Each structure stands twice: as C-alpha cells, then as structure tokens.
Amino acid sequence: MKKLLLLSFPSNLTGEPITYTLIKNYDLKINILRASIDYNIEGSLFLQVEGLEEKLDLSIKYLKIKGVKVKVINTAITIDEDKCVNCGACTAICEVGALTMDESWKVTFKKHRCLDCKLCIKACPVRAITSIV
C-alpha cells in the first residue's frame, strides 16, 4: 500500500538517518516529494511511502517513538467544488494523471496519484485548488 507522510522532526533528530532506517528496517519504497532540513534546527520531510501495511504501521510507530511528528496525508491538495467550473486548465499540467476530465467533463482528482507538485494551484484560473500540506 501507498501512503503520503509529512514528517516534522525536532533539532535533536536532524542528524539521524531516518529515511535510511525506514528503507532498511521496514522495507519501504520511498519517494521524497519535499525535504527541508536545517541541521540541528528542525526538519520536515514529505514522503510517498510504499510497502506492506503492517510494516508501514510499524514504521509510523518507530517514527513516533523517536519523537518525529507524523501526519498521514490523505491528499495534498483540495478542490473547492463550489468554486471549480470544470474548465480543465489544471488537467493540462498534471504530469501524473491525478487530475483528469471524466466522461461528463468534470474534473476528477485521484489523490493516490498526486505527487504534490502544486503546479495545479497556479494553473487553476478560479483559484479553486488549495494546498493542505
């Protein structure tokens, strides 16, 4: 299974090889979507992780015990349906096929495909898309 995790870690953990541990001990495939780490100050990592469900759960427990704040992200963006006019401008720049037009020409968002590039936020002419992370 795949999950999007937003990790925030305190200054004492910025020197730890967290990602390595996740791969090595929990056999997770990791795609780093965003990383911002200031050594000895603070850090945040936005990851797409893929692996067995029980290993994913154990890895989250490990992170929490370590003192990492873990937020499981169900979706990186949200579309305000009242604002959306279903023009399709966002689908032009979504490289991963998360935003597409359905058969009735409405925009559909497949959140499991989203890699949080955020380009759709800029592409939306009615500003209906906002970032959650």
Partner 1 sequence: MTVKKSYEEINEKIKSGEAVVVTAEEVIDIVKEKGMKEATKYVDVVTTATFGPMCSTGAFLNFGHSDPPIRMSEIYLNGVSAYGGLAAVDVYIGATEESKEKGMEYGGAHVICDLIDGKKVHLMATARGTDCYPCKEVETYITKDSINEAYLFNPRNCYQNYNAAINTSDKRIYTYMGILQPNKGNITYSTSGQLSPLLNDPLYRTIGIGTRIFLAGTVGYVSWQGTQFNSGGARDERGIPLGGGGTLALIGNLKNMSTEYIRPAVFEKYGTSIFVGVGIPIPIIDEEMMKHVSIEDKDIYTNIIDYSVKRRSKPSLGRVSYEELRRGKITLDGKEIKTAPLSSLQKARKIADELKTWIKKGEFLIQEPVQTFPTNNKLKSLEIVEEEEV
CA angle 120, 125, 127 (to 5 degrees): 70
Tell me which residues in 20-79 interact with partner 1 (CB under 8 A). none
Smallest distance from partner 1 to CB 113, Å: 14
Smallest distance from partner 1 to CB 85, Å: 5
Select from 10, 15, 67, 88 the one that contacts partner 1 (CB under 8 A).
88
Q: How far apart are CA 33 and CA 81, in angstroms?
A: 26
Q: How many residues bind partner 1 (CB under 8 A)?
A: 20
- Tell me the angle at which helices 53-66 and 18-26 cross, rounded to the nearest 10 degrees: 150
**Counting beta carbons within 10 angstroms of the beta carbon of residue 4, is it exposed (0 to 12), middle (13 to 18) or buried (19 or more)?**
buried
Q: Which stretch binds partner 1 (CB under 8 A): 3-11, 48-56, 57-65, 116-124?
A: 116-124
Q: Which residues bind partner 1 (CB under 8 A)?
A: 85-89, 91-93, 95, 100-101, 104-106, 119, 122-123, 125-127
